[in-house]
Structure 1
């Protein structure tokens, strides 16, 4: 791991390109490594409405949830949208038993979808990567039918606090993605025009046997390779390992997410 990219995230001007590149690189291993993301997605799945016919899986990744949504709604058609072409290449190779799923490479803030063309948006851990929250939620409102629903999992401040602690270096404080607060999401949803906004906060916690396991789980969502590109020495790695070991619990090394679940109705 000597010289590996530091897993700290920023939002430079070319952020969308970096995110797309990072997730494309992570695509092949995403499903295997992103166990925590799957668990959090199940919590969102439980909130699905009984019926839906025009469905968007926003930030669909390799298509896991898109396929399940097509099976869940036999009368519906599903569009899986992602910024990362590499993710969509994996999704397209996955057998589609329903024949009702299509794929779209696009930015969530500028979606090539018609006004009022959807009745359900499902998005598991994608919009935290978007630089312009107001624009993303405005696009969701624009594309949803009146009475349509958006179910969104995203992340709030304090996410990956253990990771930030471990990777801090003298004179170089850790800088993770600028996770937005619950109030910021509520304000953006109201500004977009949603008439009903419900946001639930929770703290799912996962454990890994060692630092390599922690870093693999982050790499599985593109977080490591989307970093700011600074390089680490062996001493940095040893320090991070020691700092993380001080946080060890009986179940292993902890990784805490601050999960925000948004239920929006247009």
Structure 2
């Protein structure tokens, strides 16, 4: 496997990457305040972490919430946080931690080959259009015997929002669990564990629902779409979503996939 020439940052090469980076940069100042669902989902991934790690890479690190916790969990480890959005990294660099922050895309990681013992990625890979490239990069940067623990989202995520908007092109097109598994195996990674589950959160009104999505940068439509929601669209969506109201409030669902992957040790 060839070694990537290490760069401090890697350039964004597509319009989609640039759109995602801008959306999350705009969301960065209030991200931690609004990312309640993302933090709760990430806690489940935390349980899959190994006891020890000498080097850790957080892919899609955002504001560094999980990266800082990883640095605290593995105090002797070298810890790198990579994110596509410069605004997120600006927030991350304000944290009192020893993390090495780098801008880059999951499909072209600014990290040396075979240098990482643990790759961590919480709710980031659903934004990547080329999963084969992402898994190839995970395989490249992992040392033999190294592991990747990942949580991402599957079809059925935000299904209430899809129903309310009635505009599928305005939502991200989520990949299947089989797609992630095939990409991992094609990259030479062993699938050690795979688990799917659903999380559901409740909000008092449409404003709160929209804040939970837009406020964490997740309002970018799929790459092939130029769809934008108008005020009339939002009002009609609010009326439709009200038909889904429960005693707990307006529901928003996330279908989550948790993966543990391993790069096989080099045969003797």
Same fold (TM over 0.5): yes
Unmatched runs of 5 consecutive residues or more in structure 1:
1-12
Higher relative contact order (CA 8 A, sep 6+): 1
Question: Which residue among 108, 113, 126 is the counterpart of 1:110?
Answer: 108
**Counterparts in 2 of 1:238 and 1:196: CA distance versus 1, 3 Å:** closer
User: Displacement, 1:113?
Assistant: 1.3
Structure 2: how far apart are the matches of 1:57 and 1:134? 19
Residue 213 (structure 1) aligns with: 208
Q: Which residue of 2 aligns with 1:155?
A: 153
Aligned-pair CA distance for 1:112: 2.0
What CA distance in whole angstroms lies between the structure 2 residues aligned with 1:15 and 1:88? Answer: 19
With normalisation by structure 1, the TM-score equals: 0.89
Matches within 5 A, 1:223-234: 223-224=218-219, 228=225, 230-234=227-231
Task: Name the TM-score, length of structure 2 as normaliser.
Answer: 0.89
Residues 209/146 of structure 1: CA separation in 2 closer, same or farther (3 Å cut): same
Answer yes or no: is the 8 Å Cα contact 2:152–2:257 preserved in 1.
yes
In the aligned structure 2, how far is the partner of 1:68 from the partner of 1:158?
A: 29
Q: 1:231 to 1:104 in 2, by over 3 A?
A: closer
For 2:141, which of 125, 140, 143 is the aligned residue?
Answer: 143
CA distance 1:50–1:212, shift in 2 (3 Å)? same
Matched-pair contact (CA < 8 Å) for 1:22–1:226: no
Number of residue pairs aligned between Structure 1 and Structure 2: 248
Give, in angstroms, the shift of residue 263 of structure 1. 0.6
Q: Tell me whether 1:34 sits opposite 2:32 in the alignment.
A: no
Query: Residue 44 of structure 1 aligns to a residue in which SS?
Result: helix
- Written as runs of structure 1 = structure 2, the 5 A alignment for 1:1-266 is 14-96=15-97, 99=98, 101-168=99-166, 172-224=167-219, 228=225, 230-266=227-263
Q: Distance in 2 between matches of 1:76 and 1:224?
A: 35
* Aligned position for 1:9: none
1:224 positional shift: 1.7
- For the Cα contact (< 8 Å) 2:181–2:191, is it kept in 1? no
Counterparts of 2:169 and 2:148, CA distance in 1: 33
Change (3 A) 1:174 1:246: farther
Contact (CA 8 Å) 2:221, 2:227: kept in 1 or not? Answer: no
Give deviations 1:62-84, integer Å, cap 9, x for gaps: 00111100100111111000000
Aligned counterparts of 1:122 and 1:179: Cα–Cα separation in 2? 20
Q: Is the 8 A contact 2:132 2:183 kept in 1?
A: yes
